[in-house]
Amino acid sequence: MSDLIGTHAIVVGAGMGGLAAAKALSAHFDHVTILERDTLPSVAAPRQGTPQARHLHALLAGGLIALKELLPSIETELEQAGAVKLATEDLRMERPGFDPFPQRELGLSWWSVSRPLLEFLTRQIVKRQKNIEFLESCRVTEFVALPDGSAVTGVRYETSDGRMEALSADLVVDASGRGRLALSALDSMSLPKPEETEVGIDIAYSTAVFEKPEDAPSAWKGVIVLPSAPGDSRGAFLSPIENNQWIVSVGGNHGDAPPGDMEGFLAFVKTLRTTTIYDAIKGAKPVGQIVRYLLPCSARRHFEAIQRLPRGLLAIGDAICRFNPVFGQGMSVAAQEAVILNRLLGARAGDMGRDMDPLDGLASAFFAEIQCVLETPWGIATSDFIYPKTRGERPANFEQRLQFNKALVRLGAQDASIHKLMTEVNHLLKPQSALREPEVAERVAKLMATPA
């Protein structure tokens, strides 16, 4: 039986979320068109539409598994392109009270790579799919909808020479990042827009790339320095990437922004709670310029709560949920969402013989299904309420959660099995609820009753 459920699908945006979505759709539609505002580079290079691409990114272990399901060759191509494979024992984690946290072999691994290279490799794989077409330098201006608001039927876009064009489609996916097109479409059809939940963190960060020194430490490949919250928000990440380089991102929130010049950058790094990263980079040779970025808030749009959604409209990735980039969750979540989309479409293809419209109710089913994917990273994002200036509605049980998590970290330092469970949750391999299973919760409660 054919898995095809439609003739044409459109994806707006050629970032990681859009590429993953297009690959998922290609198994279920005759033709998939990716519309991208930028001219896509023919090499691994940043582009205007992804201003955050020069900063450190992470494809977590859970994201890697999802991406491999859609793109089976991605791991081989990452290795051939020079990406660095990391395991838990390669990472030095410095956190308050544990400098460092035990550096253990836990059986988890992932790839450390620049965002431009990862996106380029993903794009090249997707381009090999014969029924996927890229239209570059095309700015989508609006989604086309039926007058009665029952369905989205295509898009209108402006070409690089100013011509206005239109494309019809059975399904349109907003992977543009901001999600404004999907919201405007709902508004134009007099349909309710999703409510939004925000965690106002005002995080600012700066990133520099260095040549890896010949005398680089051998005890670790990457370093994470977590801040001494709530009194201090300064933290940093050092990770190896292709071309024998280090990428270093440092940040602070609520106005504590790192500088954009090398002297100021190094001075900021020197003020971290530990000197591990500063000692590693103070004599290293910089590559290129320092880049800066500011994100006002983590934001979650509750599409799942909308009772009536038009046929043929979906959103994915940051258009649904945008996280504090410090946690490195965005690309992995988008890949996991695309896997869910692929499975939903496959199941609906199997029901086509029952005289049902496979796209009817797809949006509601998709937004409901991905809540399990969003639960853990959003739960981690709300940890930013540890800072008094963070805006938004603090969870009612936040103080209890905070004390639980502090004890959980202590337990993880003592017990490798708990350490592994914490790491699996952080890498989106297990839900956050796994940390509160009765056996774990009982051990944490017992530790909470003893002095730190």
Question: For 52-101, how does the pLDDT look when each residue is reduced to its tens digit (9 = 90+)?
Answer: 888 888 889 999 999 999 999 999 999 999 999 999 999 999 999 999 99
* Percent of the chain clearing pLDDT 90 (strictly above): 89
In which band, very low, low, confident or very high, does the pLDDT at 1 lie, cut at 50, 70 and 90?
very low
pLDDT, residue 436, reads: 95
pLDDT, residue 348, reads: 87
In which band, very low, low, confident or very high, does the pLDDT at 353 lie, cut at 50, 70 and 90?
low
In which band, very low, low, confident or very high, does the pLDDT at 345 lie, cut at 50, 70 and 90?
very high
Mean pLDDT, to the nearest integer, of 6-23?
97
Mean pLDDT, to the nearest integer, of 5-22?
97
Residue of 148 and 91 predicted with greater confidence: 91
Q: Is the pLDDT of residue 127 over 50?
A: yes
Mean pLDDT of all residues belonging to the chain? 94
pLDDT tens sequence across 165-192: 999 999 999 999 889 999 999 999 999 9
Q: How far is CA 356 from the centre of its chain?
A: 34
DSSP for residue 247: E
Q: Is the pLDDT of residue 42 over 50?
A: yes
Q: Is the pLDDT of residue 367 over 50?
A: yes
> How far apart are the C-alpha atoms of 34 and 341, rounded to whole Å?
17
In which band, very low, low, confident or very high, does the pLDDT at 355 lie, cut at 50, 70 and 90?
low
In which band, very low, low, confident or very high, does the pLDDT at 286 lie, cut at 50, 70 and 90?
very high
Nearest to 373 by CA among 405, 409, 330, 402: 330
> How far apart are the C-alpha atoms of 239 and 320, rounded to whole Å?
28
> How far apart are the C-alpha atoms of 148 and 238, rounded to whole Å?
53
Amino acid at 342: N
pLDDT, residue 80, reads: 97
In which band, very low, low, confident or very high, does the pLDDT at 352 lie, cut at 50, 70 and 90?
low
pLDDT, residue 249, reads: 96
In which band, very low, low, confident or very high, does the pLDDT at 356 lie, cut at 50, 70 and 90?
confident
Tokens in use for 298?
Answer: 């983590």
* Percent of the chain clearing pLDDT 70 (strictly above): 98
pLDDT, residue 349, reads: 83
Mean pLDDT, to the nearest integer, of 7-11?
98
In which band, very low, low, confident or very high, does the pLDDT at 2 lie, cut at 50, 70 and 90?
low
- 177 HSE (CA, 13 A, CB side): 13
Mean pLDDT, to the nearest integer, of 397-405?
94
pLDDT, residue 15, reads: 95
Give the helix/strand (H/E) hosting 384: none
Mean pLDDT, to the nearest integer, of 374-378?
95
Asked if the bond preceding 377 is cis, omega within 30° of 0, the reply is no
CA angle, corner 159, sides to 153 and 163, nearest 5? 90
- Collapsing DSSP states into helix, strand and coil, what is residue 262? helix
In which band, very low, low, confident or very high, does the pLDDT at 325 lie, cut at 50, 70 and 90?
confident
